[in-house]
Amino acid sequence: MIDNNLMLDSNLTIVEFKSIARGIFTTDAMLKSASVSLLLATTLCPGKYLSIVSGDVDATAKALNTALEVGSDQVYSASQITAINKEVINAIGGVVKQQINDAIAVIESQNISNIVSAADISIDTAEVEIVELRLGKGCGANSFYIITGALTAVEEACQPAILFLKNQGALLAYKIIKSPDFSVLKWLEPAKCMC
């Protein structure tokens, strides 16, 4: 559940747990151990749990250490992302661009923290906006984001993000679509997706 009333910082700790019970327990420990705000906490398929907290660099680092200690062998993946673009943080909360421009790119990964980092790289690289950022809650455990902009900007924004995901061994797929048909995207709207 996302708390839209938070004063968000630009640093995140993202933790995926193998166990829902351990995820909830560890998330509570993270919040008690550091001055962080809970941005997102939710179940994932199949039977996993995701926690994203925001705060200053030291606080999110402390929350990460707590997650690794308390979560122990039930931590599937954990990472801290610093100086993240506010547009990416807003997209995690479901606030995205509603209009499609000249082109879109769809970039897909199984690792949530890597897809968030890749989206941040894309936004910081070129004049593009996020249309969707879907963290694999019920989408067969895959996560993806969609950016839009002029074709050249979309291509430019994809290059370093794709390279980052490849280097992490986390790239599943990506496609750039010139002049996309709106009906292809209308079913991806968060209100129409139960995941």
pLDDT tens-digit profile of 27-44?
999 999 999 999 999 988
Query: For residue 88, which of 114, 65, 63, 64 has the smallest C-alpha distance?
Result: 114
Omega of the bond leading into 190 within 30 degrees of 0 (cis): no
Q: pLDDT by residue (tens digit) across 65-110?
A: 999 999 999 999 899 999 999 999 989 888 887 788 899 999 999 8
Percent pLDDT > 90 in the chain is: 67
Quick check: 102 and 48 in contact, CB under 8 A?
no
Among 26, 51, 81, residue at a domain's last position? 81
pLDDT at 115: 95
Query: For residue 143, which of 42, 10, 7, 8 has the smallest C-alpha distance?
Result: 42
**pLDDT band per the 50, 70, 90 thresholds, residue 5:** very low
Angle at 49 between CA 44 and CA 51, to 5 degrees: 115
Q: Do 102 and 176 belong to one domain?
A: yes
Among 81, 114, 131, residue at a domain's last position? 81
In which domain, by residue range, is 116 found?
Answer: 96-192
| Residue 36 placed within a domain | yes
Q: Do 175 and 113 belong to one domain?
A: yes
- Residue 126 pLDDT exceeds 80: yes
pTM of the model: 0.85
Judged on CB neighbours under 10 Å (0-12, 13-18, 19+), 19 is middle
| Residue 165 placed within a domain | yes
